[in-house]
Each structure stands twice: as structure tokens, then as C-alpha cells.
Amino acid sequence: MMPPPPGAATVQGPCMSVTQQFYLEHYERYYRRGIEAHRKGELDRARHDLLKAAEMLYKLAAASTGQLRDVRKQKAGRVLEMAQRIKPGEKGKGRAQPAAAHETTDGEGGSPRGDEWIIADPPEVSMDDIAGLVDVKATIRRRVIYPFQHPEVTARFRKQAGGGVLLYGPPGTGKTMIARAVANEVDATFFSVRCSDIMSKWVGEAEKNLRRLFDAAAEHARAVVFLDETEAIVARRGSDSTVMNRVIPEFLALVDGMAGRHPALLLLGATNRPWDIDEAALRPGRFGELIYVPLPDAEARRAILAAALRDIPLSPELDVDGLAERTAGLSGADLVGLCERAKDLPYEREITMQSPQCIEPPDIDAVLATVRPSVSAAMLARYEKFQNTCRTSA
Ligand SMILES: Nc1ncnc2c1ncn2[C@@H]1O[C@H](COP(=O)(O)OP(=O)(O)OP(=O)(O)O)[C@@H](O)[C@H]1O
Ligand SMILES: [Mg+2]
């Protein structure tokens, strides 16, 4: 009998949005697959699936609010820990050894000096796949991509290359996707790190992980370091946060040190909690440029819906433009989740009725009736307030 995902009852919350439902379903699926693979001794697969399960739970936490957010984050940490205890490439059956995570993160014996964060095989996402966000993409091209593609022009105009750019905005608006597209297009070694992974539970590991990351980046003439969920390493310091009181100065020192050592290093961050970020991290030379990634407008919603429904059997009566108008307030991730759920209805019909089906307008209506935007009006107001109180370029 397979164990249920840890704390399934508390991971599920009341009234889930489509995005939350999407992340929850994926979490449960990956978790069960991971446990099953572990039981069979397929440890590489088990590690992969449990890492994905933790990722989905972190996303679910990020799309949640209040206490539920903290509960989900803690559980994601536990699943991540389980995954990290499984040694990659380990053969044979049996439970993974708890020491494995130390062995792979301390730079001795395991993978050398942070190179495991290099994206050698960039994901197949391009800037053209990102719907809307015209200003954001223009800023990213000018600030992040061109300095690497056209270093001579950048030098001739004495444009500042390097430094840091922070993408901020509501959950599910494409911040991580933008970074993935940058990894694809930029002519530099791309390091991608989720900051919650850097913040290991073992005392002292977070600083060590950061140093390994920056040391590894320094070895490359041209490097982009993407720090996803940036707030996890530079959350405002409080008297009770001893970890943050150690990690933030270390991070700032590493970033400042890079400026002299490594002018072609560019830091790219993404966060949906910009107000939690320590102000010292937002100074010029660090995350000196903030870019707001907003909810999609009608045109962007239309493009996201069209992409999500591409090559899927659709009724000719389905009006994607009209749907874009009816989905104001939904994030890109909400829209993708909506399409996924709308597919379920004809999919099940086809299996039961054994005749070809397609997505009909009532399928969409049925899902839309249950959709709740994952970004509330209060959250949006908070982003707008933050945007008004800081320098932004988009
Ligand atoms: N502008 C967009 N264009 C196309 N797809 C989008 C866009 N925004 C979101 N999506 C869809 O939503 C999914 C989630 O987006 P992503 O993970 O990049 O959001 P995020 O802003 O990083 O969210 P979080 O703050 O929760 O990390 C993407 O994989 C993509 O399918
Ligand atoms: Mg993200």
C-alpha cells in the first residue's frame, strides 16, 4: 500500500483556484510515482519525481496565502529533503542514506563546485513563446540578452553590462518562463538555482552553497546566474532570523565581489514577494533594476489560450477571442490550468462513449464557473503599490 503524500489533508485547502488544483494534482502524481520508483529501487527516477513533487508543492505554496502557504512550504521542504537524500546514480534497492544530501552539496567527492546548476541543455522555450509582456521582453533583451550577443556595441555605448535584474509580479505570470527563454537565447553559461534549494536546512550550508555557486560562475567568462524565488535568500532581516542575518551579508559580499572580478556576470532574479526583499539587495550593482511582470492583458490571454489549445480537438463554435475577454484577472498559469481542466471533460466523454469528441463551449463554461483567479484584487493592489514606490523599467 503506497503512503499518501505527506500531510495530504493539510496540503489540500478549501476553495482551490485552477492553478492551485493543477499544482496539487501534479504534486500528488509525482509524489506517488517517486515513492513507487523508490520502492522498485529506481533511484534516479525516484529522485527526479520527488524533486518535481517538491517543486509543484513550492509552486502551490507560492500561489497560496496565509497559514496554508507556510504549511505547504514546510511540506515542500520535507519532500525536497527526501529527494536530496537519494544519491543520484545510486544503484540497488533500499532506503536512501540521510548523509547523501551532504555528500552532493559540500563540493567534496560529489559534483564539483556548483557546476550542477549549469543548464547545459536549455529548455525549448523562446522569447516568442511568452505571450504579451512586450515592454518586459524589450527590457530583458536590452538589459540581459544584447550585452552578451553584441558585446562590442555594448562597449561602444559604454552600456552597463552585468549587475542584477529582478523580475517581480504575481504568481504564474511567466517570470520563470522568461528566465528559461533567456537561458535559451543568451550566449553565456546559464546557472539556474531555486533559492529554496540553496537554503539548505543544515547550518552553514546556505552560505557554502552560495559561495560554490559564485565560484563556479566566476570560472566562466560570460555567465548568467538565475536565482528563482529570490526572496528565499534575501528576505528582510529581522532580529529573529539568524539564518538571514548570516546569508544576506554573504550574498551581498559575493555580488559586490563579482563586480570587480567578473564584469560579465549578470544576476537575474524572480520573486512574487518583492516587498520581502532586503532593501540592501536592491541597490545599484546588486538587483539594481526591477521589472514588473503583470497579469496578462486580453491580447496576451488570447495568445496563451490559443497556445494551450493548439492541436487539441476544438469545436468550431469555441470562441477563443471571447474566452480571452471573459478571463480578465486570470494569470497565465490560471489560463493553462483552465485549458487542462476543460480537456478532461471531452477526454472522459470520448473514453466512455467510444466516439471522437472535442472541447465544446459548455465544457469551457463548466470549468469557468469554478475558476477563481489565483491573484486576488488585494494582492494586485499590493504589487501596484510596490511598483509605485520603487524604480521600475517596465
Ligand atoms: N506570458 C505568458 N506567456 C505564455 N505562457 C505563460 C505566460 N505566463 C504564464 N504562462 C504559463 O504559466 C506557467 C507558469 O508560469 P511561470 O512558472 O513562469 O510563472 P512565475 O511568474 O514564475 O510564477 P511564480 O511566481 O509562482 O514562480 C508557464 O509554464 C506557462 O505555461
Ligand atoms: Mg516562478
User: Which of 56, 177, 268, 309 best tests ligand 1's pocket when mutated (most atoms within 8 Å of CB)?
Assistant: 177
Starting from the CA of residue 58, give the closest ligand: 1
Alpha helices, DSSP H, located in the chain: 8-11, 18-39, 43-62, 66-84, 100-105, 134-140, 146-149, 151-156, 175-185, 195-198, 205-218, 231-234, 242-261, 298-308, 320-326, 332-353, 361-368, 377-389
Q: Name the residue with higher pLDDT: 355 or 389.
A: 355
pLDDT given at position 378? 95
Assess whether the C-beta atom of 269 lies below 6 angstroms from ligand 1: no
Give the start-to-end residue ranges of the domains of the chain. Answer: 8-105, 115-294, 298-374
Q: Which of 137, 173, 230 has most ligand 1 atoms within 8 Å of its beta carbon, as the pocket-test mutant?
A: 173
Question: Do the domains at 115-294 and 298-374 have one common CATH topology?
Answer: no
CA angle 159, 215, 157 (to 5 degrees): 5
Task: Give whichever of 62-66, 132-136, 158-162, 207-211 has the largest mean pLDDT.
Answer: 132-136
Predicted model pTM: 0.72
Looking at ligand 1, which residue's alpha carbon is closest to its atom 29? 177
Whole-angstrom Cα distance, residue 307 to residue 293?
Answer: 20
Residue 304 Cα: closest atom of ligand 1: 4
Topology adopted by domain 115-294: Rossmann fold (3.40.50)
Kindly give the distance from the C-alpha atom of residue 227 to the centroid of ligand 2, in angstroms, as a whole number.
10
Give the model confidence (pLDDT) of 288-318 as tens digits.
889 999 999 999 999 999 999 999 999 999 9
Q: Is the pLDDT of residue 260 over 70?
A: no
Residues lining ion ligand 2 (Cβ < 5 A) are 175-176
Q: Rounded to the nearest whole angstrom, what is the distance from the C-alpha of residue 190 to the centroid of ligand 1?
A: 19
Residues 6 or more apart whose CB falls under 8 angstroms from that of 191 comprise 114, 117, 118, 119, 213, 216, 217, 223, 224, 225, 226
Tell me, using a 6 A CB cutoff, whether residue 172 lines ligand 1: yes
What does the pLDDT look like over 45-58, one tens digit per residue? 888 888 888 888 88
Beta carbon of 174 within 6 Å of any ligand 1 atom: yes
Confidence (pLDDT) at 215: 87
For the Cβ of 272 lying below 6 angstroms from any atom of ligand 1, the answer is yes
**pLDDT band of 180, cuts 50, 70, 90:** confident
CA distance from start to end of the chain: 52
Identify the CATH assignment for 298-374 out of 2.60.200.20, 3.40.50.300, 1.10.8.60, 3.90.550.10: 1.10.8.60
Does residue 160 surpass a pLDDT of 80?
Answer: no
Residue of 336, 374, 383 with the most ligand 1 atoms within 8 Å of its CB, for mutation: 336
The closest of 177, 182, 186, 176 to 147, measured between CA atoms, is 186
Rounded-to-integer distance, Cα 230 and Cα 214, Å: 15
C-alpha 87 – ligand 2 centre gap (Å): 26
Mean pLDDT of the chain: 82
**What's the gap in Å between 291 CA and the centre of ligand 2?**
14
Confidence of residue 203 (pLDDT cuts 50, 70, 90): low
More confident residue, 185 or 15: 185
Q: How far is the CA of 304 from the centre of ligand 1 (A)?
A: 10
| Mean pLDDT of the 161-170 span | 88
Q: How far is the CA of 115 from the centre of ligand 1 (A)?
A: 26
The tens digit of pLDDT for each residue in 79-131 reads: 887 887 777 554 443 333 322 222 333 333 334 456 677 776 666 789 999 99
Report the amino acid identity of residue 240: D
Task: Provide the 3-class DSSP secondary structure of residue 129.
Answer: helix
pLDDT beyond 90 at 347:
yes
Mutate to test the pocket of ligand 1, among 176, 178, 182, 193 (most ligand atoms within 8 A of CB): 176
324 within 8 A of 279, measured Cβ to Cβ: no
Q: Which residue has its alpha carbon closest to ligand 1 atom 24?
A: 171
Mean of the pLDDT values across residues 132-161? 88
